[in-house]
Structure 1
């Protein structure tokens, strides 16, 4: 069924409700918003910070990945608090005034958007003109402000907001400041993960993990375990698996508590669980791994 050019059958209920409100508001005022798709990279970076057209981290820039896609590049090396201004700059640029954003994040990019929303999502933000300078900073429109950002929803591939046991044991380079933030206890205590400003986080968890299977609990994608990729709450990680594994509690789909009773963080929903154990953590410069699932969803629904 199609209405006003929208394929309603492909839009999840919450997403349709948000889109309908925005559309009705635009029809009533005669002012039409511009929608943007923001992609927030993870560890190691790759794209030039401040250059929102550089998709080096992800893959070919010509690949469809949501309406008016922008790459929110940060260095993927320094600590979350030190680099979070780049995420806030991009959110100010494209997600204020009449404009709205869809967000996609990978790995430590999950920490970046969660940190921004929890600690700054209730602050006054100047409305910007969506025209960034070389540093990724946009100019003000009329000098007025708004509270937080206009975000429709957040897609997260291989989310690291729960940290990784690889950081705990030093499997990654200890000279990388970001590794300190990626320790499970540190990542989980960094901000209130339940405070998303009522923005939904849709989690995509890969399970093609082999190299570090003895370090990462439960199913993993070789970098993060299901407890992190699935948005599982609590102060520490735990083992969660696919239903085919009888010796481990299941990571449940949607918002329901996981097998064994462990809840997900508020406004977090598991959209994809890699039951076939075929997707790993890595983009490989070609929108690869579990990022491929998020890219497909953004292409279909971030319009």
Structure 2
């Protein structure tokens, strides 16, 4: 090849390289479990043993955000922030799905840390679940499209109030209704929408819970209501009010937290709290929604 021709080829190649677009964005789906967590391996984003078979359709590029579910929210929240840093910074975006106390974990992270500077990460985690920096630059908070919440415990549970759970687990003190509601500002979601899925298949012993419940958490919490109360399905008797769908207040005027919307209310009382390690109950309802909408 003559020198002029070689020079032209090299120049064209250089121009092509310089004009090459940045790596395209990647979307991820993060699943954050609740209390206890079924013996999952903290920091291992491939361990879906708490949820069910990892082969299930559960959103694009799904990752299990595992933490020690017996410990207090503040103690273990760094693992949620590690995952958000890993997969939800730079050009990457995340869908979030949470269950029970996982609602407290993502709410805590967004409210208290969602306005902080976060290093952009490369989505390649080490054994501890921590990813490396990309270019050393930062951004404010994380890139989150929305949060789906399966029977969220953001408002706590009366089972914790009355000591019905093992008091040896530190997280139980966080699930006391007054504590959970005062832990952080639930209205501060950094404009990220929380879509609430409220189960209502309670049991006989769950009469201690206010209004409609899924045997572990009541509608005042699973519906994202800003005040405690006995909220129920339309037409139910002996309740403080109806839990309305969408962003509307309860029928007796109790507002939902900002950016909280009830996407599913269990009018048929068909969905219980636990996923039973097999994507069941209200967890299955959220999984189906995520499978369709997280892409």
In the superposition, the TM-score normalised over structure 1's length comes to: 0.89
Residue 268, structure 1, aligned to residue 260, structure 2: yes
Equivalent residue, structure 2, for 1:254: 246
Task: State the secondary structure of the residue aligned to 1:278.
Answer: coil
1:32 to partner: Cα distance:
2.0
Q: Alignment partner for residue 45 of structure 1, among 37, 58, 63?
A: 37
Task: State the secondary structure of the residue aligned to 1:90.
Answer: helix
- 1-side partners of 2:257 and 2:145: how far apart? 18
- 2-side partners of 1:211 and 1:179: how far apart? 21
For structure 1, the 5+ residue unaligned runs are 1-28
Q: Alignment partner for residue 154 of structure 2, among 132, 149, 161?
A: 161
Equivalent residue, structure 2, for 1:224: 217
Residue 109, structure 1, aligned to residue 135, structure 2: no
CA deviation map 1:212-233 (0-9, x unaligned): 3320010000000000000000
Matched length: 273
Matches within 5 A, 1:126-205: 126-205=119-198
Q: Alignment partner for residue 283 of structure 2, among 291, 294, 297?
A: 291
Residue 77, structure 1, aligned to residue 67, structure 2: no
Q: Alignment partner for residue 92 of structure 1, among 69, 85, 90?
A: 85
- 1-side partners of 2:132 and 2:179: how far apart? 35
1:31 to partner: Cα distance:
4.8
1:45 to partner: Cα distance:
1.2
Equivalent residue, structure 2, for 1:33: 25
Deviates more, 1:50-59 or 1:238-247: 238-247
For the Cα contact (< 8 Å) 2:206–2:216, is it kept in 1? no
Q: Alignment partner for residue 233 of structure 1, among 205, 226, 243?
A: 226
- 1-side partners of 2:256 and 2:269: how far apart? 22
For structure 2, the 5+ residue unaligned runs are 1-20
- 1-side partners of 2:218 and 2:205: how far apart? 10
Task: State the secondary structure of the residue aligned to 1:227.
Answer: helix
Greater Rg over alpha carbons, structure: 2
1:30 to partner: Cα distance:
6.2
1:137 to partner: Cα distance:
0.3
Residue 243, structure 1, aligned to residue 234, structure 2: yes
CA deviation map 1:97-151 (0-9, x unaligned): 0000000000000000000000000000000000001100000000000000000
